[in-house]
Amino acid sequence: MGIYIAIVAVLTVLFVILVGKTPIFEIFNDIIIIRDLMYPANIHNYTIKSIRLIDKLPGGMFRINGYGGIKRWKGIYGIKNGLYKKGYLYVENHLKGPVIELKTANSLIYINLKTEEQTKHLYDEMMSTIKFVDENELIDCQVISVWRSILVVVVFTAIIGLPSLLHLLI
């Protein structure tokens, strides 16, 4: 039993470290790739309506599936603004701006890095690299892959619940 507790403790620490890790953003002329353990995304240029730099996150957000720490918010959040029902956050410090707001055909994505300079640099890279398409060429499609976050939570829950299940079977 002691070994199991140690394994669960180590896995919990690894889970928290990996979930809290800053995503890697790769910008190409036709796609933005967000490399993240829980919320990876491929945002193709034919789904992007606009990219702009705003002073701060809009109000009225609530977490649906994600991580909400003292400063860092990451995952799927509900948005109460009428046009969009949910948004995806990759926010390192929700207390400070600026924030990149990326509108796609069916969702909002907010990105904020650790410093103002890093956020502005990523925004400038997006604006100078992405080849935008005309409004009539936009395609409505899902950009965020949530299967991985669900799988990680299910596996983690199974590992934690294993001793109880074994105890019932024995």
Residues near 12 by beta carbon (within 8 Å), at least 6 away in sequence = none
| Domain assignment of residue 122, given as a range | 2-169
Give the mean pLDDT of 114-125: 94
- Beta partners for 31? 44
Which helix (H) or strand (E) segment is 48 a member of? Answer: strand 48-54
Query: Has residue 148 got a pLDDT over 60?
Result: no
3-state SS class at 73? strand
The number of distinct structural domains making up the chain is 1
pLDDT in tens, 92-118: 888 888 999 998 877 889 999 999 999
